[in-house]
Structure 1
Amino acid sequence: MHDTGTAPQSAPAPEQVEEQTEAAQAPSKHARRFGLPVATCLVTGNIIGGGIFLLPASVAPFGTISLVAFGVLTAGAIALALVFGRLAERDPRTGGPYVYAREAFGDFAGFLAAWSYWITTWVSNAALAVAAVGYLDVLIPVDEHKWTACLAALTLQLLPALANVAGTRYVGAVQLVATVLKFLPLLLVAIGGLFFFDSANLGPFQASDDSPVGAVSASAAILLFSYLGVESAAVSAGEVRDPRRNVGRATIFGTLGAALVYLLGTLAVFGTVAHDKLVGSTAPFSDAVNAMFGGSWGGTAVAVAALVSMVGALNGWTLLSAQTPYAAAKDGLFPSAFGRKKRGVPTVGVLVTVVLASLLTVYNYTAGAGGVFESLVLITTFTATVPYLLATAAQIYFLVSGQGERVHRGRLVRDAVLAGAAFAFSMWLVAGSGYAAVYQGVLFLFVGVLVYAWMAARKQRAATSHA
């Protein structure tokens, strides 16, 4: 048994890991391991939600210097992706950061990673659904009445949940289709914008009164959370074929794909929409499409793309919301019901996530307390980084303690540099969430401490009774 305060467990042998991952996948025609393309789509689809459709206007007030911030953040995200790839090679079990933190630092650290990540997923699902209603309203008027909008948001959460309950086969299919459909219009703007690019639209390199460093930091604070989701393949490693090889590759390819869309899309909008107009735009991609092809159909086209993008993100995040509690339940750190699978999916975790996210959605439409829902969403930007910090710290621990695989000295140095860069990037994410979010996020974590005390006590009592 591995209790808090005991020495960390050694990594399971490769054959043990393979047996565990195979055993976790119940044989069913509805359960299917993700190949590299679907795993890559899972990463890309979870990173790219609906924020991309507003990002160019959000950073336009800082000028084109914001593209420098994009570059810095992309480098940090790729470093984090590489670290997750190396950790997945070492231990390719479902759970990702939870597995790595628990192996390095014990049950308590693993539980904190699982708890904070779980909070992030279901609160984010509620936020995605509420935001998606705004795009749906462009196509079908649903936002005129409060309860019509609420019902639409609940439906948008339920449909991806049904795909998850149906089995991993359907989760993968939905994710693949949604990623392709969201990429097509984004790439249309990103690539098509090169043919309509006018440097006169770019505006000043630095539009704010801040220093260059201050302008980069300020724009980075807006962009920081654009790359949340790089861990998606690692969290679902148990559902990926040949995870030692494919998790790392999917993480890198998915992150690079998202970065390409972000950078090219933002640059294209900067070059096709006049800076003065872009600063006040509420639909920058729509303005770009209208500027490129004329007419006023851009709003409808972008609304469809954004809606598909968000449904795809909901599909992927719903799966992730069940995977980490599943891994923790197998170790006795979450209720045992979370550790049951059907058709390759931890259905209890999916259902609990849908219920909690739905309750939060209803609360958003009934409370009427301005800013409360937004504050909860901001807290998740802090809780999402806790597993990142613990996972990168675990990689540093493995390297420094000599528990990593014996490799060429050059590769060891490279892994150490990447782990340090990923840890710094994660700390930057924490700093970017703001004082209020960190303060309130820590309170959420402390609630988890009580849950951990209860589960750890039950685990200890069970072990004692069987001794």
Structure 2
Amino acid sequence: MTAPDSTVSDSTESTEAAPLTGTPAAPRRRSFGLVAATALVMGNIIGGGIFALPSAVAPYGTVSLLAFAVLSVAAVLLALLFGKLARRSPVTGGLYVYPRDAFGPFAGFLSAWSYWTMCWVSIAALAVAVVGYTDVLIPLHGNHLLEGLVALAALWLPAAANFAGTRWVGAVQIVSTVLKFVPLLLVATVGLFFVHADNFGPFNATSDSVPGAVAASAALLLYSFLGVESAAVSAGEVDDPERTVGRASVLGTLGSALVYLLGTVAVFGLVPHEQLAKSGAPFADAVNAITGGHWGGTAIALVAVVSIVGCLNGWILMAAQMPYAAARDGLFPAPFAKVGKGGVPGFGVWACAVLGTVLIALNYTAGPDTTFRILVLITTFTGCVPYLLSAAAQLYWLARGSRAQVRPAGLARDLIVAALSFAFSFWLIAGAGYAAVYQGVLFLFAGIPVYVWLRGRQDPAEAPA
């Protein structure tokens, strides 16, 4: 860990963060250029969100479109934040490394544990989202056993692909991103010519105030923007990460926000409000409204399945890399630090796949109509904790660096980005609701005994400072 200086705000100079335990860093091949890194960000953002969430937020009314606009701005701010932080620590595990360097190993552990929890819960939710669109292609007739098997296949196929290595993950992300981005953008633009004002429904369909409805719908919609940090988490795999991470994060976020906003407006205007609130495949219903038949919906359902499976491919990599970085510091169980020949931490892939399987099994035994929403809200809380801690870390470094000679304009810009990112993350945690925060806190605190055990077994000479 280096002392802050004038490079905090306005320099591309970086500090390569080594494991705190003193273990030499394993040589890593840089597999992602700007195109692959941007595809990783966009591929992880545009997954199940745009295909499943229009129905989830429809009960709030068109106020959720305002929430989408607010989230788009906030997501770009987060992308800028992670780009700045990656200049300081251009290594794998970004959202764990930033709090660790600023506040010590316990903050780093909480961030890593929370993010890892978000990953495997999100992976389960994405796999569940595949089912609704598979039902359009192959009718499942509400058979929970068949639906569960489809969800498990959607989880384990990309998990198996991850064992082939990060180069294959990057290639799959580029192909799947192109396959889903082009048709989605076409639908989002062409669909605007077929919208009917009557389909939008009420602006605020809840009994809550407009700010309350915006916050509640935004907490759900954040799920569709999770992934903005993908390039930062995988910085160790990115070529010239000091420059590429920031660019890829912003480009991927802007491209995703464009598709999201246009696509959501099109879906709201094409599908009647009451039907949309009950739809299991809202985008397919929207395309059917354009074509007047079922072939369009079938085509978009195929795109949705490809999109979500491609997104799972990237998220499984994220779920393995975060604990990998923490395990090298002795802050996660040692098996998470083992890397296979393909450059992927294999034990991390197995762990998230097994835990995701447990959640999928619970989903189809405890009520699939409500479990998806619960999973999404839990990911909102567990995803926002590392965002909050990363923004706090940047504020810390800026406060330390402000005592040095830095350009006021650059310092003010970075302070605004970090402060707004912190406020945005805090607002979303509050909007997730009492139940999601309660369940998320339980997930978070469940990691404390793990931290205590690992720290207690460490040699004092090797323990992180």
TM-score tier by shorter-chain length is 0.7 to 0.9
Distance 1:306 1:91 in 2: 35
Give the one of 147, 150, 170 matched to 1:149.
Answer: 147
Distance change >3 Å, CA 335–CA 405, structure 1 → 2: farther
Q: Does 1:445 align with 2:444?
A: yes
Q: Could you state the TM-score of these two structures normalised by the residue count of structure 1?
A: 0.87
Amino acid across the alignment from 1:34: F
Q: Deviations over 1:391-434 (max 9, x none)?
A: 00000000011179964210110100111100011011211211
Measure, in 1, the Cα distance between the counterparts of 2:96 and 2:122: 19
Match of 2:224 in 1: 226
Partners of 2:143 and 2:199 in 1: CA distance: 39
After superposition, what is the alpha-carbon deviation per residue over 1:316-364, rounded to whole angstroms, capped at 9, x for unaligned? 1100001111111111111222112222211121122222222332343
Which amino acid counterpart does residue 441 of structure 1 have in structure 2?
G
Query: Contact 1:24–1:238 at 8 Å: present in 2 too?
Result: no
Name the counterpart of 2:118.
Answer: 120
Residues 10 and 103, structure 1, Cα contact 8 Å, conserved in 2: no
Q: 1:444 to 1:136 in 2, by over 3 A?
A: same
Pick from 62, 66, 69 the counterpart of residue 68 of structure 1.
Answer: 66
2:328 paired residue number: 330
Equivalent position amino acid for 1:286 in 2: A
Supply the distance in 2 between the matched residues of 1:143 and 1:78 (Cα, whole angstroms).
41
Give the aligned partner of residue 45 of structure 1: 43
Q: Is the 8 A contact 1:285 1:298 kept in 2?
A: no
| TM-fit CA distance, 1:190 | 0.9
Aligned pair count reads 452
Rate the CA distance shift 1:280–1:137 in 2: closer, same or farther, 3 A.
Answer: closer
3-state DSSP of counterpart to 1:460: coil
Q: Does 1:136 align with 2:137?
A: no
Partner of 1:36 in structure 2?
Answer: 34
For 1:380, the equivalent position in structure 2 comes to 379
Q: Secondary structure at the match of 2:331?
A: coil
Stretches of structure 1 lacking an aligned partner (at least 5 in a row): 1-7
Q: 1:354-373 to 2 correspondence within 5 Å?
A: 354-366=353-365
Equivalence for 1:422: 421
Q: Point out the more displaced range, 260-269 or 244-253.
A: 260-269
The C-alpha deviation readout for 1:135-155, integer Å capped at 9, x for no partner, is 223223456544433333222
Determine the C-alpha separation between the residues in 1 that align with 2:145 and 2:55: 30
Matched, 1:396 2:395: yes
Verify the 8 A CA contact 1:66 1:216 in the aligned structure 2.
yes
Structural RMSD (CA): 3.0
CA distance in 1, matches of 2:373, 2:202: 32
The C-alpha deviation readout for 1:197-246, integer Å capped at 9, x for no partner, is 45565556556665544453444344233212211110000001110000
Partner of 1:260: 258
Give the aligned partner of residue 4 of structure 1: none
Shift of 1:300: 1.2
1:302 aligns with 2:279: no
Q: Which amino acid aligns with 1:359?
A: V
Amino acid at match of 2:354: V
* More deviation, 55-64/256-265: 55-64
CA contact (8 A) 1:379 1:437 kept: yes
Look up the SS of the partner of 1:362 in the other structure.
helix
| Secondary structure of 2:90's aligned partner | coil
Structure 2-normalised TM-score? 0.88
Q: Is the 8 A contact 1:134 1:143 kept in 2?
A: no
Q: Which amino acid aligns with 2:121?
A: V
Give 1:309 shift.
Answer: 1.6
Question: What CA distance in whole angstroms lies between the structure 2 residues aligned with 1:382 and 1:437?
Answer: 7
Instruction: State how far apart, in whole Å, the 2-side matches of 1:139 and 1:404 are.
Output: 61
Partner of 2:10: none
Q: Runs of 5+ in structure 2 lacking a partner?
A: 8-12
CA contact (8 A) 1:11 1:91 kept: no
With 68-77 and 56-65 compared, the bigger mean Cα shift is at 56-65
Q: How does 1:8-19 map to 2 (within 5 A)?
A: 10=3, 17=16
- Cα distance between partner residues in 1 of 2:59 and 2:143: 33
Q: What is the aligned counterpart of 1:318 among 316, 319, 330?
A: 316
Cα offset for 1:77?
A: 1.3
- CA 1:151/1:220 → structure 2, altered by over 3 Å: closer, same or farther? closer
* Aligned residue runs from structure 1 range 339-354, under 5 A: 339-342=337-340, 343-354=342-353
Deviations 1:372-396 (A, max 9, x none): 6754553232111111111000000
| Structure-2 residue corresponding to 1:293 | 291
Residues 193, 182 of structure 1: alpha-carbon distance in 2 compared, 3 angstrom cutoff? same
CA contact (8 A) 2:4 2:400 kept: no
Q: Deviations over 1:266-315 (max 9, x none)?
A: 22233444556545554432233223222222331222122112101110
* Percent of paired sites with the same residue: 60
